[in-house]
Amino acid sequence: MIDVVTNIDNLIISIIQKYNGDNIDISDNSLRDNLKKIYNSELVSKLIEYIITLTINDLDVGKAYYNKTEGELTVKKLMINELKLRQANESRSNMKNQIDEILLHMSGKSSSKTVNIRITNIDSFSAYVDRLITERIKEYHFKNKQNKLNEALHQVEIIKIILYKIVNLLEEINVQNGYAYIGEKRTFDEEKITNDVNKLLKELI
């Protein structure tokens, strides 16, 4: 499991570097191979695709926040950034639910009476991966854009704990012969909001 989690972490790091203009190639072959050894599922590629999308969503959220404070603020600029922020956040929410659902199908649903039920956005696989992405993005900015090396080292300590928690979660799935989680339900029409935001962005840009 340690190899799988290391592969996930390396994939996230490479996406962040590529997003920020570093000239690197993104490869998910090691992660794909290691996951298939464990789960032997055609859904492995889909899980990796969703992790990549979630990473880009998180990067887009950060970019929208930074753009608010750069240069002269205009009403149009503010509106575009707010819409991009909403767009990325809606996609993030969808991706997290999809990641947990894919892992459930890959590993099976545990029937153990003592199963540990995870909760999306709190302690599910997608919640840990999302937090890992966020902390890796912070580390990149502290180290490469703000020259705050102590803060970057602080991020490394947080990341070690998150990686440990992901390893434990995957090992737990093996012990209880499956995954169990409760996903997030929205009180509004997520698809309508996404379509409305995309329409407004096209009109403004």
109 - beta bridge partners? 179
Q: Which of 75-79, 88-92, 115-119 has the highest mean pLDDT?
A: 115-119
For residues 157-177, give the mean pLDDT. 96
Task: Write the pLDDT tens digit of every residue in 114-152.
Answer: 899 999 899 999 999 999 999 999 999 999 999 999 999
Please enumerate in sequence order all residues whose Cβ is within 8 A of that of 76, keeping only pairs 6 or more positions apart, or say none: 204
| DSSP string of 73-137, one letter each residue | --HHHHHHHHHHHHHHHHHHHHHHHHHHHHHHHHH-B---TT---EETTTTSHHHHHHHHHHHHH
Confidence (pLDDT) at 24: 82
Which pTM was predicted?
0.86
Say whether 61 sits in a helix, a strand or coil. Answer: helix
Segment among 108-117, 145-154, 189-198 with least mean pLDDT: 189-198
Report how far apart the first and last C-alpha atoms of the chain are (Å, whole number): 45
Note whether 51 and 8 are within 8 A (CB). Answer: yes
Confidence (pLDDT) at 90: 77
